[in-house]
Every structure is written in structure tokens, then in C-alpha cells.
Amino acid sequence: MLASIAVLGTLACNTQRGWPDRSAGVLGYADFCHEVAGSECMTVAEGFAVQSRFALRFERSSDLPDKIEEQGVESASREFLEAQGLGLIARREGEVALLAMGSGGVIDYILLNLRDVDAIVVALPEHPPLDEPFVVDAVPWGDDIALAGELDYVWTSRSDALEIVEGPYDAGEATLRVTTREDVTFEVAAGGHTEVVTFNAYPGAMRTRAEGSSDSSGSSDSSDSSDSSDSGSTGPDTTGGGQ
């Protein structure tokens, strides 16, 4: 299939391909975008997590003859990428072509990068509060890049003094509440990977001193030992006990 598509590419005219929020197809006849819940269409992500669900669509470019009608997208390999409901699901790691279909067959295509999840970066507050609910986010990573797509997350507390309430709208978000100053641990699993995170919470007064004071008394609390993936993380952490 890809060989025949590559031949068609010689017929494409030189053109300015795509809009700022679209990703141009290889042949220049279509522009693809990633539909994300709660936001407008975005450029296609650099990578998608295996086991994740996502939706992509395309719009015709000005170079496509008017007589050709758009008919949706199809995967070039159901072994890697499969249609499910109104979206797509990534089945296995690799590179796969997503085809823009028209009344005359394949209009254009884009290559998608599907990656296994090998880390989950958890963004904790710099000073997690004690006896107060706070929100944490989990982002899947693979091959050193953040991965797109919706995954099913399982959050599990390993400490009696840590309560976890899974987010009602975003499975990658959870609300935590800690009732002890001792270390607490939880794990989050998604995409076949489990990340273990240990941290401790700050009482309100101590948190205020730590955030607002530069003297040693404001920053010497044992809570200074950081969690495995704090809010300043820029990539997958290797010390959080991921499995």
C-alpha cells in the first residue's frame, strides 16, 4: 500500500501545505489534525501511546481536484492501528500510515508513531499540602517523548494516610489527600506500565515558610526530599520505581 502511495506523490504540486493547527499529509492533498476533548483540533502529536484511544481527521487542501470527495480516515494496518467507534486505538508499537480516503481511493496519508509506555511522569505540587485535597497529573512517556492518546489509569494508594479520588473527567488526573507528615506512597498504572511515587506533605504554616523564606529555617524540613516526579519534571523520572 505505501509503495503505491509513494508513486502518487510524484503528481503532487508544490504548495504551501497545512494550517498552523494542522499537520500536512505526505502528498500535499490533505491536512490532518488531532481532535482533543475540550479543545480545538491540534497538530498531530509526535507519538501516541500503545493502548491509547484518539481521534484524527483531515481536511482537503486546495490542490485536491473538486470532483474528489472526502470519505474519512483508515489505517493501513489494523495490526498496529484499529478503528474503534468514532476513533482509533493503538494496538502495538511501530510506525503506521493513516490514510485519508476519498471517492477515488487514497487521497493522502500521514505516518503515526506508536510507542509503548515506559514511564509515567507524575506532576506533584512543589510542597504538597497536609490535610488538604490537591490535584496531580500523570503523563505517559515512551522513547523520551510525552505520548498523546487517552489511556485507562488505575490509581492505588499504598499508605493508609493517603486517600486518592480519581478525576471524574480526566483519568490521568487524580485528587489526593494526605493526613500524615510521614512518607506516603501511591502507584499509577496505564498502558501496561506502573509508576510508584513516594512523597511527604507540608503543614500549612511550614509550607508558607518554605515557599516564602530564604533562610535555612524555612527550608530544612525533612519534606525536602522530593517525590519521584515533581511539577518541575521535564521528562521521565528514573528514580520513582516504575515497573
Give backbone dihedrals phi and psi of 35, rounded to 5 degrees, phi first: -85, 120
**Joined grid coordinates for residue 68:** 474528489
Predicted confidence at residue 213, as pLDDT, reads: 45
Predicted confidence at residue 5, as pLDDT, reads: 31
pTM: 0.75
User: Cα(38)–Cα(41) distance, rounded to whole angstroms?
Assistant: 10
> H or E stretch including 209?
helix 204-212
User: Cα(142)–Cα(200) distance, rounded to whole angstroms?
Assistant: 27
What string of pLDDT tens digits covers the 243 residues of the chain? 333 232 233 223 223 333 447 799 999 989 999 987 656 788 999 999 999 999 999 988 888 888 888 888 999 999 999 998 779 999 999 999 999 999 889 999 999 999 999 999 999 999 999 999 999 999 999 999 999 999 999 999 999 999 998 776 567 999 999 999 999 999 999 999 999 999 999 887 454 444 454 444 433 343 444 444 444 444 665 445 565
Topology of domain 2-115, CATH: Immunoglobulin-like (2.60.40)
**Joined grid coordinates for residue 109:** 496519508
Look at the alpha carbons of 83, 89, 90, 91 in this order and tell me if their dihedral is positive or negative.
negative
**82-118-56 Cα angle (round to 5):** 30
Write down the domain spans for the chain. 2-115, 119-224
Predicted confidence at residue 64, as pLDDT, reads: 87
User: Cα(211)–Cα(224) distance, rounded to whole angstroms?
Assistant: 12
Alpha carbon distances (Å) from 169 to 38, 122, 174, 175: 10, 17, 10, 12
Question: Exposure of 119 by Cβ count < 10 A (0-12 exposed, 13-18 middle, 19+ buried)?
Answer: buried
Do residues 82 and 59 make contact, with C-beta atoms less than 8 angstroms apart? no
User: Cα(65)–Cα(51) distance, rounded to whole angstroms?
Assistant: 37
End-to-end Cα, the chain, rounded Å: 37
Predicted confidence at residue 168, as pLDDT, reads: 65
Report which of 197, 69, 189 is spatially closest to residue 125, judged by C-alpha positions: 197
CA 102 to chain centre: 30
Q: 119-224: which CATH number, 3.30.43.10, 2.60.40.1080, 3.40.50.2300, 1.10.486.10?
A: 2.60.40.1080
Do domains 2-115 and 119-224 share one topology? The answer is yes
Predicted confidence at residue 169, as pLDDT, reads: 59
Predicted confidence at residue 66, as pLDDT, reads: 86
**122-191-168 Cα angle (round to 5):** 60
